[in-house]
Amino acid sequence: QLQLQESGPGLVKPSETLSLTCKVSGGSISSSSYYWGWIRQPPGKGLEWIGSIYYTGSTYYNPSLKSRVTISVDTSKDQFSLKLNSVTAADTSVYYCARHPARLLAARPFDYWGQGTLVIVSS
Amino acid sequence: DIQMTQSPSSLSASLGDRVTITCQASHDISNYLNWYQQKPGKAPKLLISDASNLETGVPSRFSGSGSGTDFSFTISSLQPEDIATYYCQQYDRFPPRLTFGGGTKVEIK
């Protein structure tokens, strides 16, 4: 059974960089069939897709966050990472990692999710 | 830039009622539309992919339909365990982008 687990600091200071890692177990991140993505959810609010990465390192990002986001992959460790720089209180959210198919001519549903990790931006 | 309009933002219905949620895209997205259920403190769960494809293990009272710009999600007979927030999510190919609707909170009347 595929499992995803987020890890990283739960508290980040304003203007600093938020860094999270998602460890994939029960399957390989190097599958040609999937992208691996990050989604966030501010407390009490809706879901926002941040970006996704293929095992080759190919990425696509939410245009509204693209200037501050970097997603990378480490296939040797079956994990991928998120960096969000210049954070403000508005970046306080539960951050989820998840998997979606790499199909070109079909919807890209997130079928496996991590449990989520709360990151608070505060001094 | 694609917009997803999900409605209503909340609804209250009786057990056994038929419940319908809609999502409207700002331009044609074919059938590239998925539906999720999220319960408090939990990650979202995929219910329906490609507008109408029921995921394995999901009860048949859940269904989805639509294509192009207009989509709907239906619970045919509301059960206590269906109390949750539901989200649509679309895939736009050019440029590639994923967008969630604003969510619909379903409560028992």
pLDDT by 10s per residue, chain B, length 109: 668 899 999 999 999 999 999 999 999 999 999 999 999 999 999 999 999 999 999 999 999 999 999 999 999 999 999 999 999 999 988 888 999 999 999 999 9
Confirm if A13 and A122 have CB atoms less than 8 A apart.
yes
| Amino acid present at B102 | G
For residue A8, the distance in angstroms to the closest alpha carbon of chain B comes to 18
Tell me how far apart the alpha carbons of residues A39 and A50 are, in angstroms, rounded to a whole number. 5
Task: Please report, in tens digits, the pLDDT of each residue of chain A (123 residues total).
Answer: 999 999 999 999 999 999 999 999 999 999 889 999 999 999 999 999 999 999 999 999 999 999 999 999 999 999 999 999 999 999 999 999 999 999 878 889 999 999 999 999 999
Q: Quote the pLDDT of residue B1.
A: 62
Lookup: tokens for B81: 């365990």
Report which of B30, B9, B1 is spatially closest to residue B101, judged by C-alpha positions: B9
Q: Which of B33, B98, B99, B100 to mutate to test the interface with A (most CBs of A within 10 A)?
A: B98
The verdict on whether omega for the bond into residue B59 sits within 30 degrees of 0, i.e. cis, is no
Q: A 39-58 residues with CB below 8 A of B?
A: 39, 46-49, 52
Find where tokens 């595929």 sit: A2
Lookup: tokens for B100: 């969630």
Query: Using a CB-CB distance cutoff of 8 angstroms, which residues of chain A are in contact with residue B96?
Result: 60
| Amino acid present at B36 | Y
Contacts of B82 (CB under 8 A, 6+ apart): B19, B37, B75, B106
